[in-house]
Structure 1
């Protein structure tokens, strides 16, 4: 059952209004007798290992924790591969929302496809939560009443990684940057933090996603004399640039290699011999508690890898969405979004979380890690030493600094 314009307007207004959400939702049923959730991921490209099957598996594990049903109705998970093309992602989203009656899109891998899908979801009045993309545009100029940014963003990465390194004396930087919204955001936010802490950026190179040869960029970084060579990329781009940096002897020459969007999958692919000493910011680590270890071993049995923050974020947002549907007693976007804002985010990975008016889910789980040496590791996937955990009010962009039109100004 598609929302009419009048019903959508009422739902949107309900999402932003004060007062108990449950009272308005008591008489509203589940549309089509199915709660249908969609994920649009990179299933075979450069981000497949860090999103892809892992995000789909994590969402399904959240659904399974609900017994596969909510309010007595089945929960169906659909997913697709956007091939890292924004137009493909937008086409999938439009077809899902118009024809397949998808109620919410709970992740889109990579910032450029995600920004395209956000506009479709806003047009259709549907909830969209995002854990895989990092662009702060999601909660700034592209924000919307049903748009939520979940696990991390480029601001939080810069606040932890860049600030920590500059304060340790690594005060001159050179960026090797993926040439799209995510990479641009990482470089921009990190540059801001470096400058605020009296450091300097000596240069940068932008390269297309999927670049195989980083030689020219790394030679420029090496010749710059920068103390830090910062990799503002992700997925196989990060792995390839780290491997080639090792071949060129960057770290042996005294430069610090900083991965601004590294993940535990990258460390596993590289091996500790090459990755040791790297600094990485993630919002979750599988080996943090008995609960995270137990969940992650179940995940490993299905995926043959431990989860990263994109995948645990998709699990967390799916779980929270189903809790909100239960509380609102409907899958209509307005009441569900109001419930999502009212209910604290608190699961085994994400603590003390809340959704702000700009759509940023602020939590206290962002952590800075250093990759262990081979001698320090006790076995496969035992890769991280936690250096610091950053409170949410310090990790994420302050609400008054947001350019989101939903933020009330004094």
Structure 2
């Protein structure tokens, strides 16, 4: 079993079968010196490309880079199917049956909020990279969760704020009907109104369950709003933008605000369709020498040889910091008390090739810069995945919601 450290994904059943062949005392000793990381995300649906197996590859990359930690690391993965009940059931089984210490990634905010409560109840850890709802560091904050990569406040401030400043002062939202979409619409609408703009209406789209956005786009167009805010993600965003292009909506002067657009979405759309989109991310593979170096290391193990999305890069960064913390405090202490491990993680500065230097606040919000990008025109791209040009850098201390404004019970007034 020691030879499995810093290697691939292990199915829980295979791990159990291996232990059965060992003397009980040896198996127990080995379990006591093993950290188990569960990567829980969408392996087959709308968010597979931006999360999925690529997130697991990035976690494995972090384990590999740390070398000999003095303890074994096992990485499991599972598909939550974007369903809160499925996600929370897997989380409980992982913790109770398989001894998982930390659950990572967890895109789809409704699933993340459900798993958030499970890890608090079990005193384990969730390092969330994939979900967006800022409630994870607000009303739903716990001492067991860190929200790592981005959130709806950051997206609203970056993309929403930029669109209003550019003259887009009337908005209509097409919103995915679950926690993430509601939070993104709410946070963006607050920025629009605070800047003097108006929200003319919104429509909620089934999640999951629709690929035809034509009727929703017609309603948005009929409102005569200058900006159609797409409070959705992944395949929903791709389909919305494609169908808006087919209807010629943007040719009539209406702006599309892709409030959560990933590089995988741009790749699926192509520059001809995506050109001119303004979006906010916290990681881009070609941003600087360090992001390019990380991409070079991890890319051979990524699906379709793609560079990491910001969610996948966040999994690398979070795993790296967590394992450094475990090494410092000791495996026994880390496994015994998830909240204490998170507290130690908050006390330690973060540093990695994905985001550079950073920190973790009392409310569990990981802090680093955000970047406003514009998608290049087809004749500006130099090759595959060369999609963004940088418009603005938002400093780390400005990118996320102020600590006192979130309503997190962990923050002292």
**TM-score of the superposed pair, with normalisation by structure 1:** 0.90
- Residues 190-234 of structure 1: CA deviation (Å, up to 9, x unaligned): 000000100111111110124111011101111211111111100
Which one of 348, 356, 359 corresponds to residue 343 of structure 1?
A: 348
Q: Which of 93, 96, 110 is equivalent to 2:94? A: 96
Unmatched 5+ stretches in structure 1 = 1-28
Confirm or deny that 1:57 pairs with 2:62: no
Partner SS for 1:252: helix
Structure 1 CA distance, aligned partners of 2:293 and 2:330? 31
Q: Displacement, 1:301?
A: 2.1
Q: CA deviation at 1:300?
A: 2.7
The answer on whether the counterparts of 1:41 and 1:81 sit within 8 Å (CA) in structure 2 is: yes
Contact 1:161 1:368 in 2 (8 A): yes
Q: How far, CA to CA, are the matches of 1:242 and 1:56 in structure 2?
A: 28
Q: Does the alignment pair 1:402 with 2:406?
A: yes
Distance 1:30 1:340, change over 3 A: farther
Distance of 1:232 and 1:377 partners within structure 2: 27
Question: 2:35 maps to which residue?
Answer: 35
Quote the Cα distance in structure 2 between the aligned partners of 1:201 and 1:109: 27
Is 2:131–2:180's contact at 8 Å kept on the other side of the alignment?
yes
Partner residue of 1:312? 313
CA–CA separation in structure 1 for the residues paired with 2:292 and 2:401: 30
Structure 1 position 178, deviation (Å): 0.4
Distance 1:198 1:30 in 2: 61
User: Counterparts of 2:398 and 2:189 in 1: how far apart (Å)?
Assistant: 17
Aligned to 2:387: 383
> Would the aligned equivalents of 2:371 and 2:390 in 1 still touch at CA under 8 Å?
yes
CA shift digits 1:346-400 (9 cap, x unpaired): 2112133211111111112x11100000011101100001111111221111111
Distance apart, 1:54 and its partner CA = 1.0
Alpha-carbon separation, structure 2, partners of 1:297 and 1:227: 41
CA distance 1:337–1:31, shift in 2 (3 Å): farther
Q: Shift in Å at residue 127 of structure 1?
A: 1.4
Instruction: Report the number of matched residues.
Output: 378
How far apart are the structure 2 equivalents of 1:138 and 1:342?
A: 19
Return the alpha-carbon distance in structure 2 between the equivalents of residues 86 and 269 of structure 1: 27
Which structure carries more relative contact order (alpha carbon 8 Å, separation 6+)? 1
- Cα pair 2:175 2:182 within 8 Å, conserved: yes
SS at match of 2:297: helix
Query: How far off its partner does 1:334 sit?
Result: 4.3
Name the residue aligned to 2:280: 281
Q: Any idea what SS the aligned residue of 2:36 has?
A: strand
Q: How many angstroms does 1:314 deviate by?
A: 0.6
> Which portions of structure 1, spanning 4 or more consecutive aligned residues, are displaced by more than 3 angstroms?
none
The residue aligned with 1:141 is 139
Aligned to 1:66: 66
- Aligned counterpart for 2:183 among listed residues 170, 182, 185: 185
Residue 357 of structure 1, aligned match among 362, 370, 376: 362
Contact 1:90–1:117 (8 Å) recurs in 2: yes
Measured against aligned partners, the alpha-carbon deviations of 1:128-163 in whole angstroms (never above 9, x if no partner) come to: 110100001111121111111000000000011111
Q: Which residue of 2 aligns with 1:114?
A: 112
CA contact (8 A) 1:328 1:335 kept: no
Task: Note if contact 2:145-2:342 (Cα within 8 Å) is conserved in structure 1.
Answer: no
SS of the residue 1:100 aligns to: coil
1:228 lines up with 2:227 in the alignment:
yes
CA distance in structure 1 between the aligned counterparts of 2:308 and 2:354, rounded to whole angstroms: 11
Whether the aligned pair in 2 keeps the contact of 1:327 and 1:339 (CA below 8 Å) is: no
Shift in CA distance, 334/162, structure 1 to aligned 2, threshold 3 Å: closer
Q: Is residue 203 of structure 2 the alignment partner of residue 205 of structure 1?
A: yes
The Cα RMSD (Å) is: 1.3
Instruction: Measure the CA separation in 2 of the matches of 1:299 and 1:172.
Output: 42
SS at 1:50 equivalent:
coil
How far off is 1:321 after superposition?
0.2
Deviation at 1:335, TM superposition (A): 4.2
- Counterpart of 1:261 in structure 2 is 260
Measure the CA separation in 1 of the matches of 2:31 and 2:341.
13
Q: How many angstroms does 1:342 deviate by? A: 1.6
Alpha-carbon offset, residue 305 of structure 1: 1.2
Q: Secondary structure at the match of 1:408?
A: coil
Residue pair 2:143, 2:343 contacting (<8 A) in 1 also: no
> Any conservation in 1 of the 2:107–2:130 contact (CA below 8 Å)?
yes
The answer on whether the counterparts of 1:299 and 1:305 sit within 8 Å (CA) in structure 2 is no
Aligned partners of 1:185 and 1:362: how far apart in 2?
19
Q: Distance in 2 between matches of 1:127 and 1:276?
A: 39
The range that moved more, 208-217 or 377-386, is 208-217
More deviation in 266-275 or 284-293? 284-293
